[in-house]
Structure 1
Amino acid sequence: MSNDRAAVFSAGSWGTAVAKIMADAGTDVMVHARRSEIADAINTSRRNPAYFPDVDLPASLTATTDPVAALDGADYLVLSIPAQTLRSNLASWATHIGPDTLIVSLMKGIEQDSGLRASQVIAEVTGVSADRVAVLSGPNLAREIMDGRPAAATVACADEVAARRFQTACHTRYFRPYTSTDVIGCELGGAVKNVVAVAAGVASGMGLGDNATAVLVTRGLAETTRLAMAMGAHPATLAGMSGLGDLVATCTSPLSRNRTFGAYLGRGLTLDEAAAATRQTTEGVKSAEAILALSRAHDVEMPITEVISAFLHGKVTLDEAAAALMQRPPKSER
């Protein structure tokens, strides 16, 4: 059992799931919730009524709306907020982060204006070294984890000792974390798979079948790997939990918010209607243009990302998007 303490920002579905994992692993966890009614419910009824009203939370998991109280004495700061609001939120918290706190990113998106990965934004805003920023990424559907179903993930950090430390802090009977020093590969695997999942959802919503989904997963992995390698990642990372594992789960499960969003689009809903129906942040939509910009900067071909970005920005219709992916010139597979 650990005597460590973690601050988890925020009380959304994935933040709550990781908070539960860490509490089950023996870490004292304080969740920072934006809404007082959520914090009060966690503290009094041991449940998060907004996301998991049917799941009891461990007694060592508490909540607050005060970010300073949450960060006080925290060994880990676990960030689970939308990638596009990370910079502004973190700027207001940065002065309260302890000098030895390990900052862990759960975010799977690319900042739109800068093209930076979450770990880069964290380092830039807080001024901490890369050794103090870790990433947790993998095939982790929050609902299944809250139900105690088996899952695994990758903890990536430039400092291998720090990665192993956080690995211990979130290792339970149902959650198995592996370690890596390839932060770039882990983050890009998590970010690009959301765009591919939107494409898989669109295909599902259009009734294109399981073969089409398999094609998107396979070719999606290929373009993700190309970009990651061009940016300095190791190809083996993309064959692991934060690459192929996350891609398969996100592209095939009805629990996936990005796939669900895409499925609504494939059935003919508008972007606003699909967003309202999904009711959660879909990082694939927010990050598609930034990922496409990275691909162009590194001269990497990413046809799925390109078509989905064009579709999301109204440059092509649904039928044109589907046709564009299938009517590309035949080539060797590599």
Structure 2
Amino acid sequence: MSDKITVLVAGSWGTALASVLAANHSEVYLWTRKPEQAAEINNSHTNEHFLPGITLPPNIIATTDMETAVKDSKAVVIVAPSSAMRQVAGALKPYWKEGMLCIHATKGFETETVKRMSTVISEELGCTEGEIVVLSGPSHAEEVVRLCPTTVVVASADEHRAAAAQELFINNDFRVYTNRDQVGVELAGALKNIIALGAGLSDGLGFGDNAKAALLTRGLAEISRVGVELGANPLTFSGLAGLGDLVVTATSKHSRNWRAGSMLGQGKPLAEVLESMGMVVEGIRTTKAAYAISLNLNVQMPITDQIYHVLFQGRSPRSAVEALMGRDRKTEMEAISQETWEQWHS
């Protein structure tokens, strides 16, 4: 059987995962829409826009042709932005073969439909969600390509597919756990970006560590609350995809979501923030989707609510924090439903 692996697309995280795979496999194809990016990767073994100063393994081969990228691959890893996921999965469909392993590592929702990425991919490929594997966890691309020790989780309702994905990626620098809770892992990876925006916003306002610690703790509570409502295992949110990814995304200079929030907290308008970032900030789109989900489910997400109003309704960051601090008095456990409590302790 071919040892070829395909990664779609060549952003920072896609390139980092291609680098991990290149350490384990003889041939890794990296698909991009941009001919100049493909030429740079093939000729210079760099991807300077996304990962400056990094030399990529020579067995990463970039191409703009989807058929060339996918033909004879035993696995396809999709790392497209959430806004482009349906288009990329649709482009993959003509070359998709039964038996190929499909993994995605995108942390977000399709904003228009508030669907998870596994749902979008399965609709485009004509397979079940259980045939998709989700890769998530605390993992900055900038550290992965420098071989910093990193631990992630791969999740699928099909434990055999999860185990196959684990085998593809695991090595001495990149440890991989499996998980059956595909929904929870996917939700945790997407929703923590909202809290990371909030953490950056708090830091941008100069509110210090006390405020950020509270924000992360209460943020994890609201992620868990909506996740359980959507069928996730509550324990997932205390694991790598939940707490682990939340901490790394909400506290690191590498985090786009934290940086965007920090600039907003310093008073910069959203349009200016997005222009200066030069890369996708998934938390912004995710905030819009999560706000709609909370209304549809009638689930309280107070941090998400305030960040939504800062991003899309013109509320000042300072007034958003004041609104959170001025909420009705509660006990700490009051926000956890009896049903959630029973699931947690069953």
Note the alpha carbon deviations across 1:263-286, whole angstroms, 9 max, x for none.
010111000111122221011101
The one-letter code matched in structure 1 to 2:292 is A
Q: TM-score, normalised by structure 1?
A: 0.96
How many Å separate the matches in 2 of 1:93 and 1:3? 19
Partner of 2:292: 293
Structure 1 Cα separation of the partners of residues 49 and 97 of structure 2? 30
SS at match of 2:318: helix
* Aligned mates of 1:3, 1:170 — CA distance in 2: 16
Partner residue in 2 for 1:246: 245
- For 1:51, the equivalent position in structure 2 comes to 50
Give, in whole Å, the separation in 1 of the partners of 2:278 and 2:324.
Answer: 28
Q: CA deviation at 1:330?
A: 2.0
Q: 4+ residue stretches of structure 1 with deviation over 6 A?
A: none
Cα pair 1:101 1:132 within 8 Å, conserved: no
Secondary structure of residue in 2 paired with 1:148: coil
Q: 1:27 to 1:196 in 2, by over 3 A?
A: farther
Once the two structures are TM-superposed, the CA of residue 197 in structure 1 deviates from its matched residue by: 0.6
Tell me the amino acid that sits aligned with residue 298 of structure 1. L
Gaps of 5+ in 1: none
Distance 1:227 1:25 in 2: 37
Partner of 1:112: 111
State the match for 1:90 in structure 2.
Answer: 89
Query: C-alpha offsets along residues 279-300 of structure 1, whole Å, 9 cap, x if unaligned?
Result: 2101110111211211222221
Is residue 2:77 matched to residue 1:72?
no
Aligned residue identity for 1:317: S
Report Cα offsets for 1:7-61 as digits up to 9, x if no partner.
1111110000001011112352100012112111211222222222422222221
Structure 2 residues not aligned, in runs of 5+? 334-346
Residue of structure 1 equivalent to 2:338: none
CA distance in 2, matches of 1:237, 1:81: 24
Residue 195 of structure 2 aligns with an amino acid whose one-letter code is V
The residue number in structure 1 matching 2:332 is: 333
SS in 1 for 2:109: coil
Contact 1:77-1:104 at 8 Å conserved across structures: yes
Instruction: Answer yes or no: is the 8 Å Cα contact 1:38–1:49 preserved in 2.
Output: no
Q: By how many angstroms is 1:246 displaced?
A: 0.3
Decide which moves more: 211-220 or 98-107.
98-107
Q: Are the aligned partners of 2:48 and 2:54 in contact in 1 as well (CA < 8 Å)?
A: no
| Counterpart-to-counterpart distance in 2, 1:27 and 1:173 | 17
Matches within 5 A, 1:216-255: 216-255=215-254
Partners of 1:83 and 1:302 in 2: how far apart?
A: 22
| Alpha-carbon distance in structure 1 between the residues aligned to 2:76 and 2:204 | 38
- Please give the secondary structure, in 1, of the residue aligned with 2:110: coil
Q: In the alignment, which residue of structure 1 is the partner of 2:175?
A: 176
Between 1:257-266 and 1:28-37, the stretch displaced more is: 28-37
Deviations 1:109-144 (A, max 9, x none): 111111100000111111112332010000011101
* SS of residue matched to 1:8: strand
CA offsets 1:62-108 (integer angstroms, 9 cap, x no match) = 11011111011111111111101211232232111122112211111
Determine the C-alpha separation between the residues in 1 that align with 2:325 and 2:266.
Answer: 19
Structure 2 equivalent of residue 311 of structure 1: 310
Measured in 2, the distance between the counterparts of 1:297 and 1:254 equals: 34
SS in 2 for 1:17: helix
RMSD after superposition: 1.3
1:195 aligns to what? Answer: 194
| Structure 1 residue identity aligned to 2:265 | G
TM-score, scaled relative to structure 2? 0.93
AA at the equivalent of 1:197: A
1:37 aligns with 2:36: yes
1:214 match: 213
Amino acid in the other structure paired with 1:47: T
Q: Which residue does the alignment assign to 2:268?
A: 269
Q: Percent identity?
A: 38
* Alignment partners' CA distance in 2, 1:19 and 1:123: 22
SS in 2 for 1:238: helix
Contact 1:6 1:29 in 2 (8 A): yes
Residue aligned with 1:258, SS: helix
Task: Provide the C-alpha distance between the structure 1 equivalents of 2:97 and 2:149, rounded to a whole number of angstroms.
Answer: 33
Shift of 1:314: 2.3
Using the alignment, how far apart are the partners of 2:297 and 2:24 within structure 1?
A: 41
